[in-house]
Amino acid sequence: MEKLKVAVVGYGNIGAYAMDAVNGAPDMELVGLVRRDGQTPQGVTIPVVDDIAKLPTKPDVALLCTPTRSVEEYAIKCLEQGICTVDSYDIHETIYELKMSLDAAAKKGGAAAIISAGWDPGTDSIVRAIMLASAPNGLTHTDFGPGMSMGHTVAAKAISGVKNALSMTMPMGYGVHRRDVYIELENGADFEKVKADLKADPYFATSETHVYKVDDVNVLIDKGHGVNMVRKGGAGKTQNQMLQWKMTIDNPALTSQIMTACARVAKRQGAGAYTMLEFPLIDLLPDSREEIIRALV
């Protein structure tokens, strides 16, 4: 069996984990790493380039481990060269627009783009769909965390007097979240003023927010995260069906693993852009269709 040739684009939070996941896949070969500066990180022995077109082996699929706002630009570049892409674009409000944009580029280049592949959006989207199909009337509540919120951490760091910050999302149940914000102050900053400014910031003003002063934010950071999604709903005329999906996970490791499974999917679809609701899930797995059906159905 010929192995799927996969390149990793970006070496930030997710890229290194994506390399682990591709190396662990029995049906894939990691053909290179693409970084803006083209520098080879310590311990990396595969080709590292600053432009995917310069890789010695042309990849079938590129895993886009770039910041979410750069996804569209990198994806279009790959797709137009006929290289399939997988991204974990996570701005929920504009996923449909990304799909439309990448769909056009993908059809032009004769490749497939799997978009918003991760856990939310991603596997959580799949769970939402099966919950809704199983119990069409009712309410779904989603709790995230405990885990670091990137957006709220950036917002906290932007407050005047803050040297470093960590904003944790704490699940309080049934979709309500508390923010626990840990702050290192600039020299001479007034904690009470910083705290008041932070609580008044639009990112925090509408949630219960606790602010703690600490000496060193970095020792508090771990990349664990979680989700607890609960649907209570009716099937037909029968009420009170309870469905639940819960995960406690390492955020970049899980995201990159799901992206890696989607590299298979990309190669198995026709040209176009697909969210995780738009392809058969059997395409996520390396085995034959018969093996998968016998093992999982």
Provide the binding-site residues for a copy of itself, judged by CB under 8 A: 17-18, 20-21, 24-25, 92, 95-96, 99, 116, 119, 121, 123, 125-130, 132-137, 235-238, 241-250, 253-254, 256-258, 260-261, 275-282, 284-285, 289-290, 292-294, 296-297
Torsion angles phi and psi, residue 57, rounded to 5: -110, 125
Q: Which is nearer to a copy of itself, 184 or 250 (CB)?
A: 250
- Shortest reach from residue 134's CB to a copy of itself, in Å: 6
Q: Which is nearer to a copy of itself, 169 or 257 (CB)?
A: 257
Residue 274 backbone zone (phi > 0: left; psi -120 to 50: alpha; other: beta): beta
SS3 83: coil
Q: Which is nearer to a copy of itself, 189 or 249 (CB)?
A: 249
Q: Which is nearer to a copy of itself, 203 or 274 (CB)?
A: 274
- Shortest reach from residue 55's CB to a copy of itself, in Å: 22
Q: Which is nearer to a copy of itself, 81 or 241 (CB)?
A: 241
Q: Distances in Å between the alpha carbon of 40 and those of 34, 49, 240?
A: 9, 8, 55
Per the CB < 8 A criterion, the answer to whether 62 and 9 are in contact is: yes
- Shortest reach from residue 262's CB to a copy of itself, in Å: 8
- Shortest reach from residue 1's CB to a copy of itself, in Å: 17
- Shortest reach from residue 74's CB to a copy of itself, in Å: 20
- Shortest reach from residue 119's CB to a copy of itself, in Å: 7
Q: Which is nearer to a copy of itself, 117 or 159 (CB)?
A: 117
Per the CB < 8 A criterion, the answer to whether 144 and 229 are in contact is: no
Taking alpha carbons only, the member of 22, 83, 16 closest to residue 52 is 83
3-class DSSP string for 110-158: CCEEECCCCECCEHHHHHHHHHHHHCCEEEEEEEECCEECHHHHHHHHC
- Shortest reach from residue 121's CB to a copy of itself, in Å: 5
Torsion angles phi and psi, residue 109, rounded to 5: -90, -5
Q: Which is nearer to a copy of itself, 57 or 134 (CB)?
A: 134
Per the CB < 8 A criterion, the answer to whether 242 and 215 are in contact is: no
Per the CB < 8 A criterion, the answer to whether 40 and 26 are in contact is: no
Per the CB < 8 A criterion, the answer to whether 73 and 58 are in contact is: no
R_g (Cα) of the chain, nearest Å: 21
User: Which contiguous run of DSSP H or E holds residue 295?
Assistant: helix 289-296
Per the CB < 8 A criterion, the answer to whether 244 and 230 are in contact is: yes
Q: Which is nearer to a copy of itself, 60 or 124 (CB)?
A: 124
- Give the pairing of strands 209-213 and 177-185: parallel
- Shortest reach from residue 174's CB to a copy of itself, in Å: 16
